[in-house]
């Protein structure tokens, strides 16, 4: 699943798009709207704290980093036996799982307090009365959703999808090897 963002001009436009998405088979649980606090959304699917925070992506990053660190620590402990204790594969797996759990927990604690990047980037527009809609869809639905919104709701600003992995830094590989 990926998350795609749509910035709509007002609540009426948001209601129309929600209705269209429902007719296209998008479920209520897949749509999350963020509006100014004094703009009632009525029966539209309002985003809760979980959708408004960086919890999901932080949890994934923490589990990956914690698992990697745990695996590295387990392999190191296996390769360098201390105090005459040799560790086997089960111990390495246990240390890796403990690292995964700790990394996921620590990142989730931090991620719950950090707002979603796209919501933060859209904050000025939301304060002016725009509505931000987040839709969770499968990878193969993203292009169809974009095309549908461009055709039926041309006044909607289609934002990027949430990345599933952190961006890689720009690296000039040619410079490392003396090439330009």
Report in angstroms the alpha-carbon separations of 151 from 12, 31, 146.
Answer: 17, 19, 9
Q: In this predicted model, what pLDDT tens digit does every residue of 128-153 receive, in sequence order?
A: 999 999 888 888 888 899 999 999 99
Per the CB < 8 A criterion, the answer to whether 119 and 57 are in contact is no
CATH, domain range 2-49+116-161: 3.30.70
pLDDT at position 170 over 50: no
Return the H-helix or E-strand segment holding 90: helix 89-111
Query: Would you say how long the chain is, in residues?
Result: 180
Could you tell me which residue, 117 or 92, shows the higher pLDDT?
Answer: 92
Sheet holding 157-161, edge to edge: 31-34, 131-137, 2-8, 157-161
pLDDT given for residue 172 in this prediction: 47
Per the CB < 8 A criterion, the answer to whether 13 and 131 are in contact is yes
Q: In this predicted model, what pLDDT tens digit does every residue of 9-67 receive, in sequence order?
A: 999 999 999 999 999 888 988 899 988 888 888 888 887 766 665 666 666 777 888 88
pLDDT at position 173 over 50: no
Could you tell me which residue, 111 or 24, shows the higher pLDDT?
Answer: 24
The phi-psi region of residue 21 (left if phi > 0; otherwise alpha if psi is between -120 and 50; otherwise beta) is: alpha
Quote the Cα angle for 151-152-156, to 5°: 90
Per domain, the residue ranges of the chain are: 2-49+116-161, 55-111
pLDDT given for residue 6 in this prediction: 93
Query: How sure is the predictor about 179, in pLDDT bands with cuts at 50, 70 and 90?
Result: very low
Can you tell me the distance from the alpha carbon of 60 to that of 58, in angstroms, rounded to the nearest whole number? 5
pLDDT at position 96 over 90: no
pTM of the model: 0.62
pLDDT at position 73 over 60: yes
């Amino acid at each position: 699943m990926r998350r795609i963002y749509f910035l709509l001009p007002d609540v009426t436009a948001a209601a129309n798009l929600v209705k269209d998405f429902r007719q296209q088979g998008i479920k209520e649980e897949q749509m999350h709207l963020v509006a100014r606090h004094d703009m009632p959304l009525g029966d539209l699917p309002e985003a809760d704290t979980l959708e408004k925070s960086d919890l999901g992506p932080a949890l994934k990053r923490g589990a990956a980093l914690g698992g990697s660190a745990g695996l590295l620590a387990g392999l190191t402990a296996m390769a360098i036996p201390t105090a005459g204790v040799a560790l086997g594969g089960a111990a390495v797996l246990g240390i890796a799982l403990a690292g995964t759990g700790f990394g996921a927990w620590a990142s989730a604690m931090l991620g719950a307090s950090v707002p979603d990047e796209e919501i933060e980037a859209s904050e000025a527009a939301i304060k002016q009365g725009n509505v931000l809609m987040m839709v969770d869809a499968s990878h193969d639905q993203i292009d169809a959703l974009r095309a549908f919104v461009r055709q039926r709701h041309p006044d909607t600003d289609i934002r990027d999808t949430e990345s599933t992995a952190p961006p890689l830094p720009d690296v000039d590989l040619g410079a490392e090897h003396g090439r330009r």
